[in-house]
Amino acid sequence: MTRAPRRIDPEHPLGGEMSDVAGGLFRRLQLAYLLRHHSAVPVLAIFGFVNGCLSIGVMAVAALLTRAPFIFPSLGPTAFLFFYTPTAPPAAPRNAVLGHLVGATMGWTSLALCGLLDAGPALGTDLTWARVVAAALSLGLTSGVMVLLRAPHPPAGATTLIVSLGLLTRVWQLGVLMLAVALLTAQAFVINRLAGVPYPVWRPTADPAPAPAPNA
């Protein structure tokens, strides 16, 4: 039987499922005092701070040591989804990996179609009509393909703009980007499962079918 998630406030679930993740980890680590307050806003704020630092800090260290793009802006919202609403479909491993893969691929494809692979990055006043077309096309393609694949992952919209604006353009950079996504997803799986949260192995957990409406 699926247990009901514990919320800070049933009407205003500020913590999403984060209280479940925090409570599960505190229970496993036998932190009795924190466990008694795992749904308190200050405790969740500190937990979110520590979790965010660890999630992106690992990628930042990898980037520093390898001089490769293991850290990029759209990893932040992905990490937030992983620990704020881990059982929501957009946070499932399949959606995260496919979403970023689609975003990176469509961004690179849009650059190639507009002849911008060697144009360098463009932000703000550096925009040209070709870049406008590439950015719009990349986001449109990413949105459409994610729908076709039934793999929505909102942070992928940022990934495709990172690529189509020329911040990451080389194929090897996109490979590193996807490796970073895989590492962050693996981290989410380990932490959520340690916390006792039913985080999926790959596909989103299917919602139970709604009960049929009673006959009038």
- The pLDDT tens digits for 16-54 are 788 888 889 999 998 888 888 877 888 888 888 998 999
- CA distances to 25, 82, 153, 159, 171 from 133, rounded to whole Å, are 46, 32, 23, 16, 21
pLDDT of residue 15: 58
Residue 40 · residue 51 · CB < 8 Å: no
Question: How many C-beta atoms surround the C-beta of residue 62 within 10 A?
Answer: 17
Nearest to 156 by CA among 76, 88, 84: 76
Run means of pLDDT, 10 residues per run, the chain, 216 residues: 48 68 90 81 87 90 91 94 93 98 98 94 81 96 98 97 95 96 96 94 73 50
Q: Where are the domains of the chain?
A: 18-194
Nearest to 149 by CA among 137, 141, 161: 141
Residues whose CB is less than 8 angstroms from the CB of residue 18 and which lie 6 or more positions away in sequence, other chains included = 44, 47, 48, 83, 84
pLDDT digits (tens, 9 = 90+) for 64-81: 999 998 999 999 999 999
pLDDT of residue 208: 45
**pTM of the entire predicted model:** 0.87
What is the rounded distance in angstroms from the CA atom of residue 21 to the CA atom of residue 24? 5
Using alpha carbons only, give the angle 96, 117, 135 rounded to the nearest 5 degrees. Answer: 55
Coil vs helix vs strand at 92: coil
